[in-house]
Amino acid sequence: MLCLDNLRERFLQGNMRALAQSISLVEDNPELGAKFFSLLGLPQGNPRIIGITGPPGAGKSTLTAKLALALLARGERVALLLIDPSSPFSGGAILGDRIRMHELSGLSDVYIRSLSTRGSLGGLSAATARVLRLLQHGNFSTIILETVGTGQAETDVVMAVDAVVVVAVPGLGDDIQAMKAGIMEIADVFVVNKADRDGADRTKLQIEAILGMQEGRRVHPIQVVPTIATTGHGVDKLTQALDDHFAYVEQSGELARRREKRWHKEFSAYVANILLGDFFSWANSQGIGIMANADWAEIEVYGLAKQATAQYFTERMKRHVEED
């Protein structure tokens, strides 16, 4: 039987095994996780959370490793959270990431964890939000979240982090047009990785042109940084671009607003979960035949939902009064 007090103690002492155990706990078990969070109280540190996203194979992991090395070199403690897209096409991604991250192995001030999004909607799951929250208790100065940018995951990543780095590669052509839709709005810093390939300058110009058209919607200019992740070229510029970004959003209050929004979103997700769970357990206990057996095609869905929730609230209220 897991002793949460003991786990908390070891976790707060910076024990890496306890960190790994705690992550598994909040990832797999929201109920116990919630207990653990209430034992932890508020996070003591104030880490920067950076999301790295972009198309498959753009070099996100290679770049993440190099960025982590640069941050470690200036005395930071870094946590890396790699979201396994769990697509059948990227099987072995985690193994690949391990190889890409080999430069970090054995270093004491970095923690690497892969999370699978299997079975969760929208790519970035509620479990990821909980793990990120937990890492904020873990005495890290920077937390980096790597996730493949496909559709919904892009908007999710914005909600989960303080700053978004979008990684593009030269010669995307049509992809750049497609990227406009989702990704252009979410980038705080752009990277054109694989700058050793032809067309990097052109891609940089294309991105800058698109960003230029959006001027006015953003309060400060978004930097486009060419990198060669395999050699580490340009990573110093990326670090600087991120520092510039954070300096700006800290000073302008934008960072605080973004974090507040994130808090609200998480809060309402929990409330929705609790209410839904209670509603359905009530509905089942009442034998209300609305879920099972009902001839759904014959029932008007909105009307029934309204009627059932009204009945639910009335009965819950009654119980509440009786219990008082």
Site for ligand GTP, rule CB under 6 A: 56-62, 90, 93, 96, 100, 148, 193-194, 196, 228-230
**Partner from ligand GTP, Mg ion, none contacting 148, C-beta within 5 to 8 A by type:** ligand GTP
Integer Cα distance of 232 and 110 in angstroms: 18
Shortest distance, CB of residue 185 to ligand GTP, whole angstroms? 21
Element (H, E) at 159: helix 152-160
Shortest distance, CB of residue 66 to ligand GTP, whole angstroms? 9
**Closer to Mg ion at the Cβ: 60 or 137?**
60
- Nearest residue to the partner ligand GTP, using Cβ: 59
Query: Nearest CA to 48 among 21, 67, 61?
Result: 67
47-66: which residues touch Mg ion (CB under 5 A)? 60-61
Query: Nearest CA to 176 among 197, 147, 205, 155?
Result: 205
**Closer to ligand GTP at the Cβ: 93 or 104?**
93
Sheet holding 223-226, edge to edge: 110-116, 78-84, 142-148, 48-54, 163-168, 189-192, 223-226
Integer Cα distance of 193 and 168 in angstroms: 6
**Closer to ligand GTP at the Cβ: 47 or 59?**
59
**Partner from Mg ion, ligand GTP, none contacting 109, C-beta within 5 to 8 A by type:** none
**Closer to ligand GTP at the Cβ: 19 or 144?**
144
Measured at the alpha carbon of residue 60, what is the angle toward residues 56 and 62, in degrees to the nearest 5? 125
Reduce the DSSP state of residue 217 to 3 states and report it. coil
**Partner from ligand GTP, Mg ion, none contacting 193, C-beta within 5 to 8 A by type:** ligand GTP
